[in-house]
Each structure stands twice: as structure tokens, then as C-alpha cells.
Amino acid sequence: MIGKMIGAMVGARVADRARGVGGPTGAVLGMVAIPLIRRLGPLGWAAVAIGGLAAKRMKKR
């Protein structure tokens, strides 16, 4: 429960800096992200990080 609340607070703050995402939407995304992060494990985290870097590079082009 506390993890979801912390995730919601972090998500709301990140949404303030992101374009096209409002505070409540970011809070929901942050709340949903916590259980997903727990289930991914270290290998999943690495896959997400590599995918994020690849998406960032493709967006720059």
C-alpha cells in the first residue's frame, strides 16, 4: 500500500515534467508501475532500460 502511494507521488511529479501527461494520469501510471517493477526482476529491468535507450535514440533521428 505504501509502495503504491509513493509510486503515485513520483508519477505525478514526473508527469509535471512530461509533455502530454497530466498529474492524475502520472499518479495512476506511477501506482501501476510499482507492481510491474516488482515482477520484472533484474533481467526485466535491464530489458526495459535497453528498450528505453533504443526508443530515445530512434526519437532523436
Q: Could you read off the pLDDT of 7-56 as tens digits, one per residue?
A: 777 777 777 766 666 667 777 777 777 777 778 888 888 888 898 889 88
How many domains are there within the chain? 1
Domain that holds residue 22: 2-60
CA distance 60 to 10: 26
The CA R_g of the chain, rounded to the nearest whole Å, is 13
Q: What is the crossing angle of helices 23-60 and 2-17, to 10°?
A: 60
Q: Is the pTM here over 0.85, yes or no?
A: no
Q: Residue 57 in 3-state DSSP?
A: helix
